[in-house]
Amino acid sequence: MLTILIFRATNRIISTLSRNRNTFELISNQQRWIHVATIDQAYSTTKKVVKSQNYHQRYVNYAPVLFEWSQKVNSGQLSMDSLLASQQFQRVSESICDTIRHSDTNILNMLKSLIIINMDPNLRIVRFLEDELLYKIQYSYDFKLLNATLTLYHRLKDTTPKRALIFDTLIRTIGEKLEESKASMLDLVQMTKFNRFFTPEMMIKIEDQLMRYLDSDEEIPLDNLCYLLVLLSRHNRRNKNLIRSVVAKLLKYRPEEIYTMPPHLIHMISSLKRLNFPEINLLEKCSDILVNFKFLENLNESSKRDFTVAISNFNFSYPKLNDYYLQTLIDKPDIFKHQDLITLTITLARLNYQREDFVDIIMDHIVPKISYENCASRYQWFNFVNSLMLLRCATVDQIKSILRNQFYVEMEQEELEAHLNYLRERQTKNSQEDSDDLLENEKMDSNAVDLNVNSGHEIYRMMNIRRKYCVLYGMLTLQSDARIVDPNTHQSMGKIPIEQFFDNAEEMKNFQTYIKTFDLSIIKRSKDLQEFRKKLIQTFDAFAPNKDKYMLVDIKTPFGFVIDAELRVDLEGKPQILDKPKISSEDTKTKDIHRSVALMCIGFNETLLDDNSRFIGPKDAELSLLTSLGYVVVPIHQNSLPQSVTSLNRIKFLQNLIASHIKTDNNIDDDDH
C-alpha cells in the first residue's frame, strides 16, 4: 500500500513540474521579444513581468533591455553617467545578478552590450556575467558560442586579469573540444580566423578536420570556400595540401553553379596570389566565367582592379581574357576610369601581350587619356611610360618627360616620403590595436622602425627605380627604332639618336651620372634561383674545363642586370678561349665564326604561367638587349635542367641546348642576308 502511495505522489509531483516548466518556457519565449524605447519603459515592462510570476517560474530576458541602452549610449541619446546613476539600471543590474538561470546565448549577448559601451569591468553586473561566462565556456558552450566569445574577447585579453583568464580558458577549451568532438565546417573556418592565438598542434587539428570535409563528398557552399582562402591568405597559412583541397573542391563546381558569384571568384584569385599558389585550371575556369559574365561592365571598380592586378602578378596571360579587355576598351571605353587604363597598360606590359592591332588600340584609346598632369604621382606616370616602352609604343615626348633631372630626383623623394607616411600610419595603428590585427593584405616587420633613417626597403625601392631606368636607357640606345612610334601614324620613327630624348646635353650628362649610381647588389635574386645558378655553373665547369679560360661569370651590364655566364663557342658549340666579355669589346658576331653565348638563369616568376618559354615584359626586354649586342642568348629555366640524371647527361643537355640556339641564330643570319 505504501509503495502505491509513493508512486502516485511521485507522478503528481512530476506532473506539476511539467506544467510549471511549460508555463516558464511560454513566458520566457514571450519575453524574448521585449523591445524598449526608453529606460522607464524598459524597466516598467520588466517589473510587471517579474511581479506576475511566482519565484520559481520567473525569468526575464534582459538582453534586449541592455542592448537598447547600449544603442542609446553609442548614439549619444544617453550618457554613461546618467545610465549608471539611474535607479532603473541599478534594479535591472540587481535582478540580473540575482538570477542564475541565464541561457548560454543571453550571457554573451548581455556582455556584448556592456562591452561595446566600455562599461567598467569592476561593476557588479560585469563581474557577475563574466563569472557566468567563465563557467559556460568550460561546461556548456559549443563551438559556435566559443567562436562568438573568441570574437568578442580576443581584443580584451590584456585589459584585466579576469579577461585574460577567460581568454586562456577559451583557448584551452577549444583545444580540448577538438579532441573530443567534431566541429562543423563553418566553425572550423571561423576558428581559422583566429589561428594566431592557437598553438601549432591546435592548428594542425583544425586544418586536418577541414581537409576531411573538403576531401569528402559533402557539399560545401562556395562562400565558405572563398572565405577560407581569404583567411588563409590573410594570415599567411600556406598549407599546400589544404589549399590544394580547396582548389579541388572549387573545380568540381559547374560554371552555371557559380555564374552568379563573380565577386567570390575575384576574392579567391586574389587570395591564391597572396598565397603564391598558381592554379592554371582554376584561373582559366574563373576567367571564362568572368568574361561570359562581362565583369568589366557589371562589377565595381575595386573588384575589377583587384582581378587585373592578380592576373598580372600571376603572370597569367589568357588570350580570351586579354582580347575581352581590349574589345571592351574599343566598344565601351567610358567604363574604364583613369586608374583602370593605367593598371591595364602595366598589366599588358608585364604579360608581354602583342597582337596585330595592339599598338593602334593603345594609341587610340589609352594614350590620349593619360598625361603627366592627370597622374596621381610621378611614379605612376613613370610606370605608365615605362610600360609603353615595353609594349613598343612610347613617344619621344613621353620619354623626354621622365628623363629630366628634376623629374626623377623629385620622384625618388616623393616615393621616399610616401613610404615614410605609410610607416607612420602603420605605427599609429600598431599603437592603437593589437599587433596581430594589422591590415589584412600586407605584412609589417614587428621590429621598431626608425623613421629618421633609410631602411633597407626604402633603399631597395630607390634602386628598383634606377634599375628600370638602366633598362630603359638600354632600349633607347639599342632599340629606339623598334620601341618608339610616331603619335600620329603609330609607325616606327626609325633609329633615333640618344641625344634627342633629352632637352640639352647637361640633362643627358646628369642622367648618365644618375644611372651609374645604381647598385646591383641591392637587388637580390630569390634563394632558390641563386642555388639553381650555382648548380648550373658547376655543371659548366665540367663542360668547359679550366673555367677561367673558357667561361666568365657574373658579368655586369650597364643595363641593370648581370649575365650569369658567358661562353665563346664555335659553330658546333665547342668552347673557345675567352679573355674578356663581349659587352666590353667592340667585336660583333659578323667578324668571325665564333659566337658569344650569354647563359641566363630564368626564375619561375620571370616567365608566363602557362609557358616557360615565354617571358614577362621586363625580362624579355633584358634578353632582347643582349641579342641587340650580338649575343646568342640561352635562357635556362629553373625547372629545365634535369636533376635526377647523371652529371654527364646534364652536360649533354646543355651542349644540345646551346647548339640549338646557335643553329637558330645562324638561320636568322642567313635570312637577313
634 φ, ψ (degrees, to nearest 5): -115, 95
Domain ends where: 335, 370, 405?
370
pLDDT (mean) for 360-373: 96
Q: How far apart are CA 277 and CA 258, in angstroms?
A: 21
Split at pLDDT 50, 70, 90, the class of 643 is low
The count of structural domains within the chain is: 4
Helices of type H across 333-403: 338-350, 358-365, 378-390, 396-402
Partners of 569 in beta bridges: 575, 595
Same domain, 294 and 232: yes
Mean pLDDT of the chain: 83
Same domain, 263 and 129: no
pLDDT (mean) for 394-419: 94
Does some domain include residue 564?
yes
Q: How far apart are CA 587 and CA 582, in angstroms?
A: 7
Residue 74 has pLDDT above 70, yes or no: yes
pLDDT (mean) for 469-494: 96
Contact 596, 632 (CB under 8 A): yes
Residue 4 has pLDDT above 70, yes or no: no
Contact 603, 638 (CB under 8 A): yes
Residue 29 has pLDDT above 50, yes or no: no
Per residue in 125-165, pLDDT (tens digit) is 999 999 999 999 999 999 999 999 999 999 998 999 999 99
Does some domain include residue 171?
no
Provide the residue count of the chain.
673
Same domain, 409 and 316: no
pLDDT (mean) for 277-299: 90
pLDDT at res. 2: 40
Does some domain include residue 401?
yes
Does some domain include residue 180?
no
C-alpha cell at 12: 503528481
Candidates 556, 526, 550, 540; CA nearest to 638 is: 526
The domain in which residue 514 lies consists of 389-429+450-520
Residue 181 has pLDDT above 90, yes or no: no
Does some domain include residue 238?
yes
Question: Does residue 646 come out as left (phi exceeding 0), alpha (psi in the -120 to 50 range) or beta?
Answer: beta
For residue 137, count CB atoms less than 10 angstroms from its CB and return exposed for 0-12, middle for 13-18, buried for 19 or more: buried
Residue 385 has pLDDT above 80, yes or no: yes
Split at pLDDT 50, 70, 90, the class of 6 is very low
Lowest-pLDDT choice from 36-40, 88-92, 262-266: 36-40
Q: Which residue has the cell 655543371?
A: 539
Same domain, 358 and 257: yes
Q: How far apart are CA 276 and CA 330, in angstroms?
A: 33
Q: What letter represents residue 482's amino acid?
A: A
More confident residue, 70 or 421: 70
More confident residue, 229 or 457: 229
pLDDT at res. 520: 87
Contact 50, 96 (CB under 8 A): no
pLDDT (mean) for 379-396: 97
Split at pLDDT 50, 70, 90, the class of 640 is confident
pLDDT at res. 508: 96
Lowest-pLDDT choice from 48-57, 155-164, 413-422: 48-57
Strands 632-637 and 595-602 turn out to be parallel
Same domain, 408 and 286: no
pLDDT (mean) for 102-130: 93
Does some domain include residue 406?
yes
Question: Does residue 560 come out as left (phi exceeding 0), alpha (psi in the -120 to 50 range) or beta?
Answer: left
pLDDT at res. 221: 86
More confident residue, 565 or 57: 565
Split at pLDDT 50, 70, 90, the class of 25 is very low
Task: Give kind and range of the element (H or E) at residue 516.
Answer: none
C-alpha cell at 182: 567534431
Partners of 498 in beta bridges: none
Partners of 601 in beta bridges: 636
pLDDT at res. 527: 87
DSSP classification of residue 484:
B
Residue 494 has pLDDT above 80, yes or no: yes
Same domain, 529 and 516: no
pLDDT at res. 650: 77
Domain ends where: 520, 545, 566?
520
Lowest-pLDDT choice from 176-180, 292-296, 426-430: 426-430
pLDDT (mean) for 419-431: 71
CA distances, 507 to each of 311, 371, 658 (Å): 38, 22, 42
Same domain, 393 and 342: no
pLDDT at res. 148: 94
pLDDT at res. 481: 96
Same domain, 402 and 496: yes
Residue 447 has pLDDT above 50, yes or no: no
Q: How far apart are CA 328 and CA 338, in angstroms?
A: 15
Split at pLDDT 50, 70, 90, the class of 448 is very low
Treating both helix axes as pointing N-terminal to C-terminal, what angle do 200-215 and 240-251 enclose, rounded to 10 degrees?
20
Does some domain include residue 145?
no
Per residue in 189-235, pLDDT (tens digit) is 999 999 999 999 999 999 999 999 999 888 888 888 889 999 999 99
Does some domain include residue 365?
yes
Residue 23 has pLDDT above 80, yes or no: no
Q: How far apart are CA 622 and CA 394, in angstroms?
A: 17
Residue 27 has pLDDT above 60, yes or no: no
pLDDT at res. 268: 87
Same domain, 492 and 410: yes
Residue 262 has pLDDT above 60, yes or no: yes
C-alpha cell at 220: 560545401
Same domain, 530 and 501: no
Contact 385, 401 (CB under 8 A): yes
CA distances, 436 to each of 174, 223, 445 (Å): 20, 25, 12
DSSP state string for 608-664: ETTEEEEE-HHHHHHHHHHHHTT-EEEEEETTTS-SSS-HHHHHHHHHHHHHHHHHH
pLDDT at res. 432: 52
pLDDT at res. 124: 93
pTM value? 0.79
Same domain, 577 and 644: yes
17 φ, ψ (degrees, to nearest 5): -60, -40
Same domain, 456 and 563: no
Partners of 633 in beta bridges: 598
Per residue in 625-639, pLDDT (tens digit) is 999 999 999 999 988
Per residue in 304-343, pLDDT (tens digit) is 999 999 999 999 999 999 999 999 999 999 999 999 999 9
pLDDT (mean) for 490-519: 95
Largest CA distance in the chain: 127
| Residue % of the chain over a pLDDT of 90 | 56
Lowest-pLDDT choice from 10-14, 85-89, 367-371, 424-428: 10-14
Domain ends where: 120, 140, 160?
140
